[in-house]
Amino acid sequence: MYNTNYHRASSVKDAVATMGKSDDGKFVSGGQTLIPTMKQRLAAPSDLIDLRHVDSMKGIAVKGNQVTIGAGTTHAEVNASKELRKACPSICDLAGHIGDPHVRNMGTIGGSIANNDPAADYPAAMMALGAQIVTDKRTIDADDFFTGMFDTALEEDEIITSVTFTAPAKGAYSKFPNPASRYAMAGVFVSQGDSGVRVAVTGAGSDGVFRHGEMEAALASNWDSSAIAECNIDADDLLSDLHGDNSYRANLVKVMAKRAVEAAG
């Protein structure tokens, strides 16, 4: 790892001010992606601004079916929250399958979303739940937030403070993890609620997470896994790599979508 300057932020304001003074700073939360990337020298920020001790960014609030999750909330906390499980079990289950138990104790929902890894799980949840990403400057719809592989609508000094969404009547996430890395080779989150049916796919898209309109329309008219049997998953838009080519992934997307619908009930 190249050397860096570590700063522990006490508040969002403090973090933004520190970022303003840095040459090429980066915010770090759990660091479960950023630190390995720095160790490989694929990233070399001049400054690391630690958000993990900003209390206002932590915690889960559930009011009826309205859910707010602080950006600094760890995957383990999302997984273990009884209150959240009552309102939206699908996101708890998703969080419980990210990485491994030790990674889940450090990694945070805000960090995962800000990084927008094309194989990360949370971006699919945000899209399928129609979540709003709340930053220190504005509120962004998930549909507008994820702008491509490792790319988001965030400005350099903008910090996600929380995410909010309405818990859907039904929802589930199903993923096919790569057997070695455990990252999703295809992961599909489906939801059915007041705002209709949403189907979001991660791990497979060559431009990161995406919604699949045809599967959404098919499931809106018939909420049953058989409804998507005839849907066309365009392999041209999907990743091909040593783990699987795009036609394989296209099939995985459909299989994961069917499993998710069946799990959602």
Partner 1 sequence: MASISMTVNGKTVGGEVEDRTLLVEFIRENLRLTGTHVGCDTSQCGACVVHVDGKAVKSCTTLAAQANGCEITTIEGLASDDLHPMQQAFKDNHGLQCGFCTPGMIMAATDMVNRLGKNLDEKTIRAELEGNICRCTGYHNIVKSIQDGASKM
**Binding site residues, partner 1, CB under 8 A:** 1-6, 8, 28, 31-32, 35-36, 38-39, 48, 50, 52, 76, 80, 99-103, 105-106, 182
Q: How far is the CB of 229 from partner 1 (least distance, A)?
A: 31
Question: Looking at beta carbons only, is 38 or 62 nearer to partner 1?
Answer: 38
Q: How far is the CB of 191 from partner 1 (least distance, A)?
A: 25
Question: Looking at beta carbons only, is 36 or 148 nearer to partner 1?
Answer: 36
Question: Looking at beta carbons only, is 8 or 170 nearer to partner 1?
Answer: 8
Which residue type does 183 have? Y
**Among 76, 147, 64, CA closest to 113:** 147
Residues in CB range of 39: below 8 A, 6 or more apart: 1
Q: How far is the CB of 181 from partner 1 (least distance, A)?
A: 8
CA gap 47, 27 in Å, rounded:
8
Q: Is the dihedral of CA 85, 87, 92, 94 positive or negative?
A: positive
Query: 160-166 and 132-135 as β-strands: parallel, antiparallel, unpaired?
Result: antiparallel
Question: Looking at beta carbons only, is 107 or 205 nearer to partner 1?
Answer: 107
Q: How far is the CB of 99 from partner 1 (least distance, A)?
A: 7
Q: How far is the CB of 30 from partner 1 (least distance, A)?
A: 9
Question: Looking at beta carbons only, is 109 or 190 nearer to partner 1?
Answer: 109
CA gap 215, 9 in Å, rounded:
43
**Beta bridge pairs of residue 63:** 66
